[in-house]
Homo-oligomer: A and B are copies of this chain.
């Protein structure tokens, strides 16, 4: 650097900023603020699914409306998203309101509106958390490290899959195991390109597991998540500790019946902390 430039910077006459391009995830969930709790957003082609956007990006967008709300108290504890109608590619508006604010918890309701109809909505609890007695009952699976597994190629018809690195240990979709009658999958996963983990990206990762029916049956059928709930077991500091290293995901179903199945998953940090548990109810045809 030339001497005059260094002097000018040191004297505060010039400031140099590096314009780091936004991560595709942050671009996809970005919201433009209007009046308090009112936002505008739009779907991202990067996270397109076969029909409409990837559900996880919609959930993260709704959660983002709460995260950015000036009245927010604490960090996300639970997120329930209802996918109430197909979402068209393009613009939408979001309206968030605090239904009830307590001393250490806050309950939220947020809607995604397209064409004057509610295309998706969510309820959220945010909470101030502090250290207490703690006990992990779930078991962290001992598996092959992510570094030793090749990532799955992305699926051209589901563009959003190119936004995630998925390294399967077991339960690859479309290959039902003859040995076990199970819908379980175990995989390492992270944003692609890598991005430090936070509540927003974790909420989307919770919906990045393939529908269990694709693991359980060789024949693909039309499906759609109807509603999903995520519980966050970690606070912001624990998520920051994970950085952009892969998280371990385990997903399974309990029952497929009369057009619907449930899907439940755990997401673990590399070092064995349970970060989130998540549940969804999924429609399937035939």
Contact = CB atoms under 8 A, between A and B. Distances in A.
Contact of A262 (B227, B231, B234, B256): B231
A66 B262 CA distance: 22
A226 B283 contact: no
Nearest to A105: B226
Contact of A254 (B84, B133, B266): B266
Copies of this protein, total: 2
A251 to B, nearest CB: 12
Contact of A279 (B105, B231, B259): B231
A107 to B, nearest CB: 4
A281 B126 CA distance: 12
Interface string A121-143: 10101010111111111100000
Given A129-B260, A216-B137, A255 B274 contact: yes
Interface stretch (A3-11, A37-45, A74-82, A160-168): A74-82
A118 interface: yes
Contacts of A123: 80, 82, 121, 123, 227
A201 interface: no
Interface residues of A, number: 62
Nearest to A279: B279
A109 B279 CA distance: 19
Contacts of A127: 226, 259-260
A20 interface: no
Interface string A228-250: 01010111000000000000000
A217 B133 contact: yes
A182 B136 CA distance: 10
B258 A137 contact: no
A119 B171 CA distance: 43
A19 to B, nearest CB: 37
Interface in A69-92: 77-78, 80, 82, 84-85
B283 A105 contact: yes
23 contacts: A77-B226, A80-B229, A82-B125, A84-B99, A84-B100, A85-B100, A85-B102, A99-B118, A125-B281, A127-B226, A133-B286, A135-B257, A136-B257, A137-B183, A137-B216, A137-B252, A137-B253, A137-B256, A233-B257, A233-B262, A255-B277, A262-B277, A264-B277
